[in-house]
Amino acid sequence: MDLSTETAGIRLLSDLNNSDGAAMTFDRVIQLIQNAAESIVIHMFVWRNDEIGNQIGREILAAADRGVTIHIKKDVGAFMYERIEMNRKSFFNVTISPVKRLIYKINALTFPDTYVKDDYDDSLGRQVMAHQNVTMEWVNHTHSKYYIFDRQIMVTGSINIEDRHRGYRDYMVEISGEELIERFQLRNRDAAAFDDTRSLDFVFNNVIDGRKSFEIKPAMLELIAAARRSLYIEMAYIGDPDISREIIEAAKRGVEVTTLFSRAANIGNDINYRSLLRICRQAEIAVFLSEKMIHSKLMLIDDDTVILGSANTSIFSMQKAVEMDVVVKDNPQFIDSIKQTIDLRVSQGSKVQSLKELGNYNKLVASLQQLHQLLH
């Protein structure tokens, strides 16, 4: 069953056959690249030099060849993840310093070994960077992920450009219409305030002219505090103490709190378990663990308001990184598509019956993972 229901300019890119999100997202992104007539903007965290990374790279090169202007914002901090995980290759293979390489090797000690061997080289990435119709903007601490096509259609959420997302639980949405894209651009420049009366608006962590404007954590805290009946959290990485306290307060006042996490996250698994255990020791919440990696960043409040996007509730996302989320309410069809996906994912998880199930983590590694986020 296709959940690409479109209402008020937004649709969920998900399929109940697997509920993962990546397959439909990548197919749609490729289609939109092929259809682009004037411009494409891509803001990406991880762009790995693997099958999907090269497939999208080829489509970008073809679009540039036919005259489409391409602007790519690529996060340099993500080089670490690209070069110590999976095939250990960046699609845009720029040189990094010996000091950075040493830092990557040290950080790799807290990561699981996911190495896979392949034969991809960096020639395609170099062609893309060298093309006259492509401009590259190197950014840092920017965890946002979005595409904009001809200033008419945006695809955004939490899916990076890398093969392993095909096996993750994740969300992306397609937002269409000139008015909504203009609204995004205004909000991204901090030229308009967040408007909670809108059925769809954008919320940012941003740094503009050296000034930090981090809106997402206050927005999440406000939404959790406003919950009266139910709160659903599907999150890749957690650990911000203020968010944890607000979740505990919600549960204590009678809100039914349900959470879905990875049984074994790709990174940060120990800090996830430590944070989750601390929450569960102070409040009664339903915890479900997924055998598939939960890479989502989503909250559903009272079954009528959803916030989703690139921001985890980790210290890095809440306090350090440039992020973008979308807040949607008063949109029953879209919320229903989210709820159907949630129901399937929860049904395929296993419910935690005892706090002992959450206590099997490495305390030293958890502390190092939290320290890495604080110092990042």
pLDDT digits (tens, 9 = 90+) for 55-105: 999 999 999 999 999 999 999 999 999 999 999 999 999 999 999 999 999
Contact 360, 264 (CB under 8 A): no
User: Do 49 and 57 touch, CB atoms closer than 8 A?
Assistant: no
Q: Residue 372 has what pLDDT?
A: 72
pLDDT tier at 20 (50, 70, 90 boundaries)?
confident
Element (H, E) at 288: strand 286-290
Ramachandran assignment for 66, one of left (phi > 0), alpha (psi -120 to 50 degrees), beta (any other): alpha
pLDDT digits (tens, 9 = 90+) for 219-253: 999 999 999 999 999 999 999 999 999 999 999 99
Quote the pLDDT of residue 17: 64
**pLDDT range class, residue 330, cuts 50, 70, 90:** very high
Q: Is 221 exposed, middle or buried (0-12, 13-18, 19+ CB in 10 A)?
A: middle
Q: What residue type is 363 in one-letter code?
A: K
Q: What is the residue-averaged pLDDT of the chain?
A: 94
Can you list the domains of the chain with their CATH numbers? 6-180 (3.30.870.10), 195-375 (3.30.870.10)
pLDDT at residue 36 greater than cutoff 90:
yes
| pLDDT for the residue 210 | 87
Q: What pLDDT does 6 receive?
A: 38
> Mean pLDDT over residues 294-312, rounded?
98
Q: What is the pLDDT of residue 8?
A: 58
Q: Residues 287-310, buried b or exposed e (16+ Cβ, 10 A)?
A: bbbbebbbbbbbbbbbbebbbbbb
For residue 109, how many other CB atoms are within 10 A of its CB?
Answer: 9
Q: Which residues of 162-195 are buried (b: 16+ CB within 10 A; e: fewer)?
A: bbbbbebbbbbbbbbeeebbebbeebbeeeeeee
pLDDT score at 5: 37
pLDDT bin (cut points 50, 70, 90) of residue 376 is low
The stretch 159-175 carries a mean pLDDT of 95
322 has pLDDT over 50 = yes
Alpha-carbon separation of residue 46 from 140, 158, 279 (angstroms): 12, 11, 30
State the Cα–Cα distance between residues 136 and 100, nearest whole angstrom. Answer: 21
Confidence of residue 21 (pLDDT cuts 50, 70, 90): confident
